[in-house]
Structure 1
Amino acid sequence: MTISSSAPNPRADWYPDPHNPALLRYWDGRQWTGHTSPRPGGWAGQQWQAYPQRSGGGRADNTRSSRSGLPVWAVVALVVFVGIATLAVIGGVVTAPEPAPSAAGATSNTNTAESEPSTPSEALTTTSPSAPPTPTETEPPRSTVPRLKGLSREEAEARLTTAGLGVSEVRQVFSPKAPGTVLSQSKKVGTSVLTGIEVILVVAKPYPQVPGVVGRLKAAAVERLREAGFKVSVITESRTSGKDGVVLRQTPAGDARAKPGSSITIVISSVIRPVAPPQNCTAGYDPCLAPASDYDCAGGSGDGPKYTGFVRVTGYDPYDLDADGDGIACE
């Protein structure tokens, strides 16, 4: 039976779902509702129709068949059964109520998600709308931390960029390695991290230079080395000539690089003055130089009046023949 658009709307009741034949959907007398229930097997292939409106007195015969072809008591029992089943599942299947059909029976705008039929019979010819796409949760992109130790700073930064990572900080520490060499990294090699994470790099910086202190007095030399961050070890060397208390040599040498806090050894001169010389020799020379107003090295530019060749300075050097203070004159 087809219900025409000019006929009054069927009364509120359960009817086959126009979109899913396996379900029943409740018609409230004006429109379809969101209440559904599994369709009983006895109603497979049958179309539910509205009960006819009764007029006048007289009680309906409970044994009379309904328009569906079943006795009225069977219909009533089925409605009760369907209602109980609906209450059990209604929490999970209720959807938003659909808009009411227009008075003229016109269809909704074609741009809407679903066209609303004016009657249950018309709903049988409508097309079920597609369900909206379900949003998919995806994992954020991840990267693998590359090995950076031993690379130069520029190479390490390029490798991190290729992996989708960055550098948050570069820390420098003293090291014998070439300046800028990566010594360590804050993220373990092979670790899976979120793309864009930043890594801390620890790179080498050169050891500081050792100040040159040869020729300085002991106190000044020690102070200069300590200010540069080094410890000082002092060795005294006895000499018979030259200046007393000055730095003769150092280890490591000046301008060399050494680890901060390491020890620098300096050798300090200790000049020993000789005893009084014999009457026929000038004190402090070997072999003996006879006393004179002055001596110069033979073959040099001095003007004498006395000249001498190779001679060892054993004490005080009154003629200033040992210019470099190594104890050997006129070398």
Structure 2
Amino acid sequence: MPSNPTRPRALLRRHRLAPSLSALALGVALSGCASQDQPVSPSYNNEALNEQLVMATAWMQSAAEYRALSYQAFNVARLRLDQALEGRRPGDRPLAVIVDCDEAVIDNTPFEAWLIGRDERYSSANWNAWVEDAQARALPGAQAFLDYARSRGVEVFYVTNRDERGLAATMKNLKQLDFPWVDKQHMMLRTDTSDKQPRRETVMATHDVALLVGDNLADFDSRYDADEVATRNAQVIQDRAHFGERYIVLPNPTYGGWEAALYEGDYSLSPQEKDQKRRAALRTWSGPEQQVP
């Protein structure tokens, strides 16, 4: 779905810190600690938890700033693609770009909006029904960038964690949006694993990849598919030169690997437990000084 339609990973997975990241991760963790314990929320159901989607979804659907960020991402992508094209030499392998689908080139926020006000959660059944409707719209600037890539002879590979069973509906949706290279060769959906690295490597075995576009860090490298907030943040710091250069990131505050890390990868938590984990991750101001009577 979400860049991760497999977002509810039922089993708790833990990744060890890479030795090169240990000290950096520790620093990030300490800097992000909350100064005070957050209040424990009362027990509630998914309908109550889904209220937390309102601001993020409203922002993505209505904020001019979100549209500006999307245009900005694809403007940078075009600039980087032009630079890659300038460096081409006779005999080079075909040039390609790899893009995620959900919240990277198409907008699924109506699905998130549907959850609001309902005692529902993300599920394969709910998500697959949305996929089959083929109603996702193009992100601002996405179609123009992809069409530009096609016009320059650059192939586009869609590496998405939509389930392979949704291939026909996904192709229908992308063709309705006039996206290029929508065929079985260029559509690389999830089969036996949500790890995108093998699919990326398949493309890289035959093509020179100019850049990757996604909303989730695991769209770029599986090293980011970690269940610790500090690990993911430390990896970003280490790879900071890649962002805006080889990696083009679209904003997505509604779901993703960042949310999984809050739960240490355990999506089986109850709505109340998820709420508590979210609140515990907040860094909170101590408040104004109290006046002594």
Short-chain TM bin: under 0.3
Q: Which has the larger radius of gyration?
A: 1
Give the TM-score taking structure 2 as reference length.
Answer: 0.16
TM-score norm. by structure 1 comes to 0.14
**Which has more strand, going by share of residues?**
1
The structure that is helix-richer by fraction is: 2
